[in-house]
Amino acid sequence: MLTHLRVENLKSVSDSGPLQLRPLTFLMGPNSSGKSTLLQAILLARQTVDSRDVANPLVTEGAYVKLGAYRDFIHRHDRSRRLRLEIGVQPDNRLTLEPGGAAAGVVDSLRMMAEFSYNQKTFAIFPTVVSYATSPTVLEVTKRRVTRERSTIEMQYEGKPLRVSVHVPGKFYDIARGAFPLLYNTRYAPSVVRREPLPVFLTREFEAALNKTFYVGPLRTGPLRTYVAAGETPQDVGFQGEATFAILWAARWNRRLQQSVFRPSSEWLRRFDMAARLDLERVGGTHFRLLFTDPTTGIQASFADVGFGASQLLPAIVQSLYAPRGSTIIMEQPEIHLHPAAQGTLGDLFIEGTRLGKQLIIETHSEHLVSRVLRRVAEGALSRDKVAIYYCSPSEAGTQVKEIELDEFGRFGEGLPPGFFEEAYKESLAHVQAMAARSASGVE
């Protein structure tokens, strides 16, 4: 699960400032305001973790994001600027330092910071500094680039700085390669017998958190009349929801997934008033139809015939249910092609996801979705501490990111940015003014 994000000099974002990522985090704001850029910073790290090219420190062109060359994505296209990313994660394993180690205590969270530079002759992007800091026990490990071929890994141990030189270019976040000679006495035991140096723990836990980060893009694939059951079990629904049927097929026959995914998917479709029931029907060989039962008439219809909104909604439902506990789900515009009532129900779907131990980071334009979440806070069904709302707005200095404070009743605090939740009020005011003007002119 991700806990922290800070982005500097990426596209329109000069400096996002430190952002606390809570179990349910919303990014809002007008078009082209930088919301997606914040998500791309996370996906850039995810893409690098996925890459099989272990010598490439930062993968800017891949399946998750295509940012181009350094000059394309660096803020104001100024190649002298340095890209800086901070990502905090909650480790799967609690690190407990052994007696006599660098400090007594535990590690419940860690934060990675990476700063990148650019060689204008070779076009190579390389990390100049990568550091990890832990809490509540404070430990720091830093990798600094000294030359093109060598880096140093540094750490404070019992009040003394320790340093080792390494000759292992690799992914930017990896401080484990070549670090085994460093601090061989500083070991931990996260409920296992194996002992490893601290840099290995930090690198592995960062990778683990990013490997459990899933992305659903802003436009999902349209419905098909038939699907092929290939017996696959995908890790997620895919960027465009293209693997949704494959997951439903696997969930139809797997008892555990039937209880956690297939049946709840039908229940949620009913709550969205999309279908009374979800079914799979063989049409020949390995080809199947996805059927929705109309909630009003009780008539079964092909998924392709129930409206485009259903095809945009179903991947969001399945991914929210299918992702493992402790994972992070990033979604862009999950409300697309949904009417206001269904957008509100999305809020309940995402709240349920947090109750199942998952984190959802949502980029949205839907006031209805957020309003449902605020209502649940007021009802006491959701703690305000589980929700974060960030509003992005463009400015001459770059994207400005402001957190919208909430009180215990889900009410907004003071100092709301211009444009936040204003459109309904503006339209209502303009409507009243128009009626008053017509009445004053004697027009009936």
Q: Answer with the residue of higher pLDDT: 419 or 117.
A: 117
CB of 332 within 8 A of CB of 216? yes
- Quote helix, strand, coil % in the chain, to nearest 5: 30, 30, 40
pLDDT digits (tens, 9 = 90+) for 366-378: 999 999 999 999 9
Q: Rounded to an integer, what distance in angstroms lies between the CA atom of residue 376 and that of residue 374?
A: 5
Which pLDDT value is given to residue 197? 74
pLDDT at 193: 31
Identify the band that residue 100 occupies on the pLDDT scale cut at 50, 70 and 90.
very low
Residue 164: per-residue pLDDT? 76
Answer whether residue 222 shows pLDDT above 80: yes
Residues above pLDDT 70, as percent of the chain? 89
Q: pLDDT-based confidence at 195, cuts 50/70/90?
A: low
**CB 164, CB 182: distance < 8 Å:** yes
pLDDT averaged over every residue in the chain: 88
SS3 217: coil
Range with the poorest average pLDDT among 9-13, 74-78, 435-439: 435-439
Instruction: Specify the pLDDT at position 194.
Output: 43
Angle between helices 263-271 and 308-322 (to 10 degrees): 130
pLDDT > 80? residue 66: yes
pLDDT band at 415 (very low <50, low <70, confident <90, very high): confident
Q: What is the rounded average pLDDT of the residues 246-265? A: 95
Report the amino acid identity of residue 83: L
pLDDT of residue 150: 82
Give whole-number Cα distances, 214 to 125, 157, 296, 326, 357, in Å: 25, 37, 35, 12, 14
Residue 420 has pLDDT above 90, yes or no: no
- pLDDT higher than 60, residue 98: no
The closest of 160, 180, 157 to 101, measured between CA atoms, is: 157
Residue 96: per-residue pLDDT: 67
Q: Could you give all domains of the chain from N- to C-terminal order, each with its CATH number?
A: 1-212+323-444 (3.40.50), 221-322 (no CATH)
193-219 in b/e form (b: 16+ CB < 10 A) is eeebbbbbbbbbbbbebbebbbbbbee
pLDDT reading at 136 higher than 80: yes
User: Is a pLDDT exceeding 90 seen at residue 421?
Assistant: no
Q: Are 58 and 48 in contact (CB under 8 A)?
A: yes
Cα distance between residue 114 and residue 416, in whole Å: 32
* 399 and 390 Cβ atoms separated by less than 8 Å: no
* pLDDT-derived band at 429, boundaries 50, 70, 90: low
**368 DSSP assignment:** H
- Report how far residue 227's alpha carbon sits from residue 281's, in angstroms, rounded to the nearest whole number: 10
Tell me the average pLDDT across 164-172: 79
- Amino acid (one-letter) located at 267: E
